[in-house]
Amino acid sequence: MKHTFKIITENKPGVLYRLVNVFYKRKVNISAVHADETENKNVSIVKITVVINPDMVEKIKKQIEKIIEVIEVN
């Protein structure tokens, strides 16, 4: 299934690298990625779209939540 993770994170160097690693480690191909600063320059929103098994959504979400700079994942 196609799923988009919406990630609110601190706007710091290296965060995108850690995010991408979560997918790369599990050999999940990223079909789209979009990252933007918000009005608050310290916070950014990253949207990552992947095709994965439904049971992986929750597992990956929890892994993303562990990244120290990540504020929220939907």
Residue ranges binding other proteins (CB under 8 A): 14, 17-18, 21, 25, 58-59, 62-63, 65-66, 68
- Phi, psi of 14, rounded to the nearest 5 degrees: 95, -15
Minimal distance, residue 55 CB to other proteins, in Å: 9
Which of 36, 58 has the CB closer to other proteins?
58
Minimal distance, residue 3 CB to other proteins, in Å: 17
Minimal distance, residue 2 CB to other proteins, in Å: 22
Residue 9 and residue 47 in contact, taking contact as beta carbons nearer than 8 Å: no
Exposure letters 15-26 (e unless 16+ CB within 10 A, then b): bbebbeebbeee
